[in-house]
Amino acid sequence: MSIKNVLNIALAQMTSVDSVEVNLKHITQLVHEASHQPAEIRPRIIFFPENSLYFRIKSDEKLPQIILQSSEFKELERLSAETNIYLHVTSTIYDAEKNWNASVLMSPESGAQIIYRKIHLFDIALTGDKSIRESDVFSHGGEITQFDVDGFKFGSSVCYDIRFAELYHKHALAQVDAIVVPSAFLVKTGMVHWDVLVRARAIESQCYVLAPAQWGLHHSTNGLGSRETFGHSIVVDPWGQSLQQKKDGVGLIYARLDKDECLKVRSQIPMNTHRRI
């Protein structure tokens, strides 16, 4: 196993709340924890779940206008540079006079950059539950994106995107090594759909799928109620097997990605040479 073909990563499971200050403090603690791990598991990049910096508890709650130049992102840039760890954070971002559910990559060398805006927004109405309309406050992204860390190619997606296989088909055509799915799944859908969807995306794309998730009861800091998310952060390998999983609680899970595992699966089942659509 060649060293240049492997990459240590970590996934963070959080119970974020409607306070950027509280969430930033938790993120900082997790980054410091990861930075003190022994070399064999110390991550080069940490992936945080959807709504990392701000978790809206009530659907009518006004979103904060968090911009890329905000003090929160300046602090995350500082953390990344100090620890020499890339940070992948998905949060509400205000940019170009619109709110986005977006992923931001903090590089130790070059700071913060918006790398993906969520394409499929969560507008659903489950039986017996109040409807949820993410598009009432967020704009739809329109660009399929990939990014690179130390020669590893990652495909971008966020939570509800996972139900749309055509997005992952594009990442598979791009021969990515891993696809990231920061999430905040509902308990009702998570219990039935989460594991199946994550593993299916890995199997059909023949790459790793990294799915950091929100977990537990999210209590509003201003007494406006609570929401619950499913958790079950998971790393799935290109064969569709779970390498690491954190079903409940908050904290980090660690894994090592290996390019050779992707090549091994693709050589056994050469889907890219068989594609007709």
Tell me which residues are annotated as active site.
50, 118, 159
Q: Which of 142, 106, 137, 108 is nearest to 122 (CA)?
A: 137
- The rounded distance, in Å, linking the Cα atoms of 171 and 157 is 10
Distance CA 236, CA 250 (A): 19
Identify the helix (H) or strand (E) that includes residue 247. none
Cβ(194)–Cβ(232) under 8 Å? yes
Distance CA 29, CA 14 (A): 11
Look up residue 205 and give its amino acid: S
**Closest CA relative to residue 83, chosen from 34, 35, 43, 29:** 35
Helix axis angle for 20-35 and 71-83, nearest 10°, is 0
- Residues shown for the chain: 277
Maximum CA extent, the chain:
56
Neighbours of 224 (CB within 10 A): 13
The DSSP secondary-structure symbol of 46 reads E
Specify whether the CB–CB gap between 148 and 112 falls below 8 A: no
What DSSP designation does 192 have? I
**Within 10 Å of residue 142's Cβ, how many Cβ atoms?**
7
